Copies of this chain bind each other. A is one copy, B any other.
Amino acid sequence: MARKVKVHVYLKPGVLDVQGKAVEGALHSLGWPGVANARVGKMIEFDLADDVADPEAEVKRMCETLLANTVIESYRVEVA
């Protein structure tokens, strides 16, 4: 069985989240004024072969290389 990997990628605090602002504005217009601080992030899920040694470190390398733009984004890795 392959391992299930989940990567959450979200903008660092302080970076303007235009997509989040758009969602918040739309929810306000639709009649939900109680919504605040909306942020939109990405979630990448995949299966990783069992023969990969040290999967956590390997997935971290994937994030640094491809999955996250570490200048403005943070990530969190879950390997199950």
Contacts and interface: CB of A to CB of B under 8 A. Distances in A.
Nearest to A26: B66
Give the residue among A30, A34, A38, A67 with the most B Cβ atoms within 10 A.
A34
How many identical subunits does the complex contain?
2
Given A23-B67, A27-B66, A39 B46 contact: yes
Interface residues of A, number: 34
A22 B16 CA distance: 26
Given A24-B46, A43-B41, A44-B40, A34 B51 contact: yes
15 contacts: A2-B34, A8-B43, A20-B44, A27-B66, A30-B65, A32-B62, A34-B51, A35-B46, A35-B47, A35-B62, A36-B47, A37-B47, A38-B46, A41-B43, A43-B43
